[in-house]
Chains A and B, each alone.
Chain A
Amino acid sequence: MTTTHLSRREFLKASAAATAGLTLGFYLPASFARTADPGTTSGSVAPPSFAPNAFVRIGIDDSVTVIAKHVEMGQGTYTGLATLVAEELDADWSKVKVEGAPANAKLYNNLSWGETQGTGGSSAIANSYEQLRKAGAAARAMLVAAAAHEWKMAPEAITVERGVVMHGARKLSFGQLAEKAAALPVPTEIKLKDPKDFRYIGKQISRKDSKAKCNGSARYTIDMKLPGMLTAVVAHPRGLAAR
């Protein structure tokens, strides 16, 4: 093993630079694009999707991907944050997936902490509560507007249930509307649900991180391998006052 002398300050500076290097531009206002997976640097091409804001992406396969700005450490924040989006979107919970947000303190900051991307102090749901509900509601409004356009009617009479936009016998899934919705302007005025109509918030629903943690596919820091990555371990002394 080789020993490198690196002060704590230098280490932090180098780490910060490495983090900045991973930043991905991802905010796509009402776009319908082939987006790279924001959780990776691989640049792999994901299927086309409707991404009305930085927090939700709807795929033509009906999948709803919530971008979680807080870190899942077992406290259930991936599930909690996805609940907020799914509630206002009237999404089908079984179609909701969660992806960790990339490093971007402007888009994914903790609203209680200023321009800082961070998780802690039981602040995740409190600071995200309105922000993510609005993100879901905006996406829903755009999907409804797309359906209204398709059916040549006013959007008010259109309802949404578990990922399906409907009026009478007419139905279109989120995936079927994604492309049309992406071409519409993001609404500036967003109406949120009356809490008495909540179907996910405050209810017991299945966790989004269970499966991967039951079959060994969940990846922790210790499981990450990056090209050229080195492993550093503390060289423990053999005894007290050892040299």
Chain B
Amino acid sequence: MISLNVNGKTYTLDVPPDMPVLWAIRDGIGLTGTKYGCGIAQCGACTVHIDGNAVRSCSMPVSAAAGKCVTTIENIGATRVGKATQSAWERLDVMQCGYCQSGQIMSAAALLSGNPKPTDADIDAAMSGNICRCATYVRIRAAIHEAAKALA
């Protein structure tokens, strides 16, 4: 049994300790907003926050997340930065298919939490691990600037 705190709630899960956090969240808890993309931390679709840091949940064993606070796309809107990020995304219609966007928003929110006024170069560096097959990169960058402006 593993105890996992996700979005402020504690869940006791009967899962193997080496199960990736991603599957504990999706299959164990039933929160499906976090997506499976590559499974090897190369695409960023599975990004969640663990104690506020952007983490690829597909490659972290659930045992390593025990005792820490996991935040997913379903609850990032509860934070001021997360809410501003989601609003900017919506206002600019950033997404197309949207499959990677949970991860994009989680990475962007983590960036904005540490760097409230990122430059294009900061954005490119922080977001380079999040791949978008629809190539929405230009709007992602614009939305991060827009969110930064709203938060200023």
A residues in contact (CB < 8 Å) with B: 73-76, 206-207, 209-220, 222-223
Contact = CB atoms under 8 A, between A and B. Distances in A.
B94 to A, nearest CB: 8
Which 6 A/B pairs are nearest by Cβ-Cβ distance?
A216-B33, A74-B97, A213-B98, A74-B96, A216-B73, A223-B32
Contacts of B98: 74, 209, 212-214, 218
Contacts of B36: 222
A203 to B, nearest CB: 14
Nearest to A204: B93
B96 A215 contact: no
B65 interface: no
Nearest to B143: A214
Q: Is the interface of B mostly helix, strand, loop or mixed?
A: loop
Interface residues of B, number: 24
Nearest to B33: A216
Contact of A220 (B35, B93, B95): B35
Contacts of A222: 32, 35-36
13 contacts: A73-B97, A74-B97, A211-B90, A212-B98, A213-B95, A214-B95, A214-B105, A215-B73, A216-B33, A216-B34, A216-B74, A218-B98, A220-B35
B35 A213 contact: no
Most chain-B Cβ atoms within 10 A of its Cβ — which of A211, A214, A217?
A214
Nearest to B106: A216
Contacts of A206: 93
A223 B90 CA distance: 22
Interface in B53-102: 72-74, 77, 86, 89-90, 93-99, 101-102
B2 to A, nearest CB: 22
A220 B99 contact: yes
A28 B102 CA distance: 38
Contacts of A211: 90
A113 B73 CA distance: 39
